[in-house]
Amino acid sequence: MAKVKVYYDSESDTMDIWFGNPEDEVICEEVGEGIILKKDKEGKTIGIEKLYVSKTVGINRPIPVELVVA
């Protein structure tokens, strides 16, 4: 099973969720308000970016994260 990588950038208030290699990204497609699909050269979705995370969820402090490894 491939690993999922999650990155949160507090300066830009964005979260990236990768289930493919980030270096393979060649296409970004906005599919909804603040939701961007990251795709490889074949058009396969390899990641998702969420903009305005804390504003969307209504959080004004650091986001707690729980990691579960299976």
pLDDT at position 3: 80
- For residue 27, the cross-strand partners are 39
Confidence of residue 64 (pLDDT cuts 50, 70, 90): low
Average pLDDT score over residue span 62-67:
63
Q: How many helices (H) and strands (E) does the chain have?
A: 1, 5
Name the E strands within 1-70: 5-9, 14-18, 27-32, 35-39, 45-50
pTM above 0.85, yes or no: no
pLDDT digits (tens, 9 = 90+) for 6-56: 888 888 888 899 989 999 999 999 999 899 999 999 999 999 999 988 877
| pLDDT score, position 51 | 93
Task: Answer whether residue 69 shows pLDDT above 60.
Answer: no
